[in-house]
Amino acid sequence: MRSALSAALRRWVDSAPGSFEQEEGETRRIDWLRVLPFLGIHAGCLLALWTGVSATAAVCAVALYLVRMFAITAFYHRYCAHHAYRMSRLMQFLFALLAGSAAQRGPLWWASHHRHHHAHSDRAGDAHSALRDGLLWSHLGWFLARENFAPRAHLVRDLARYPELRFLDRFDVLAPVALIALLYATGAFLSAAAPHLGTSGPQLVVWGFFISTVALYHATFTVNSLAHRCGARRYATPDDSRNNLWIALLTLGEGWHNNHHHYAGAARQGFYWWEIDPTWLGLRLLAALGLVRGLREVPAAVRETRRIGAGA
């Protein structure tokens, strides 16, 4: 019992390969001890009743939501999972740090499970099909299950070539902890240097990390759940993916999910000018600055094929 407990606690900080062996009959078993940090982040939002709020803390929460959402969509999704553009190794590392601070596990884990989803979307084997398994499972149950704790290493051999990405994936707790420390130090400094702002270390941690991260979690999760059940279908994809403006607004462009499943290799998911895709605009800015290159758009011929109905 003690060894099992210590192993579970160790996996909070060290997601080493081989740490998540699945035993027979464990399919969909929730390992509650392993997911306590996830539950703790939600509980941390209640500390706002103690710290209160200030304009500084609220701006910090919104800014970190937007910046980290961009890192998730642009880096974890469009770069790591789909190679929709290229960047230098230094930029790759910095993006991985920023995306990792969103506490959605490491780059190899994130990309491998997403690639697996595309290979089996809404069919047998899909880890988070809202169509087959329901909204709650596709929203959050799937990644709390023991069977999905480990990255699917055979699907991300390209990313595993980089030791720095393997390190950030194995110790995926480091980036969130570093962000918490930075927020606390910044809040403490502002409390002393600019007391009129009415903020503090604990307040910036609660709003800049806990509240911002929980909002980021559930906005991101809607792409797996609601974007496979709610919205319009332009393309006759073999899954039930849908385009949804509201999810696109929450996730900086990820709500054009039917578009994405029609042609996953594009850095742009809003295929038309009226489909709002802030991540695409951000990537174009980074390309203009020379920080990324080779942005892939959807070919016009592909964009017009397999459409459902003339007015779709």
* Arithmetic mean of pLDDT, 275-298: 97
Quick check: 310 pLDDT over 60? no
To the nearest whole percent, how much of the chain has pLDDT over 70?
90
Strand extents, DSSP E, the chain: 86-87, 292-293
Q: Could you give the CA distance from residue 59 to residue 280 in angstroms, rounded to a whole number?
A: 23
Report d(CA 10, CA 13) in Å as an integer.
Answer: 6
Q: Is the pLDDT of residue 8 over 70?
A: no
Place of tokens 């999810």: 247
Residue 21 has pLDDT above 60, yes or no: no
Instruction: Provide the b/e sequence for 263-285 (b: ≥16 CB within 10 Å).
Output: bbebbbbbbeeebebbbbebbee
CA distances from 196 to 24, 188, 193, 199 (A): 59, 13, 9, 8
Mean pLDDT across the stretch 145-149? 89
* Mean pLDDT (whole number) for 173-190: 97
What's the length of the chain?
Answer: 312
pLDDT of residue 311: 44
How many angstroms separate the CA atoms of 81 and 265, rounded? 9
Give the pLDDT confidence of 85-144 residue by residue, as tens digits.
999 999 999 999 999 999 999 999 999 999 999 999 999 999 999 989 999 999 999 999
**Phi/psi class of residue 17: alpha, beta or left (left: φ > 0; alpha: ψ in -120 to 50)?**
beta
- In terms of pLDDT, which residue wins out, 256 or 149? 256
pLDDT score for 32: 81
Rounded to the nearest integer, the mean pLDDT of the chain is 92
Span 25-62, pLDDT tens digits: 456 778 888 889 999 999 999 999 999 999 999 999 99
- Least trusted range by pLDDT, from 59-73, 135-149, 170-184, 291-305: 135-149
Domain boundaries in the chain?
46-303
pLDDT digits (tens, 9 = 90+) for 292-308: 999 999 999 999 999 98
> Which residues does 251 contact at the CB level (< 8 Å), separation at least 6?
69, 73, 219, 220, 222, 223
pLDDT above 90: residue 22: no
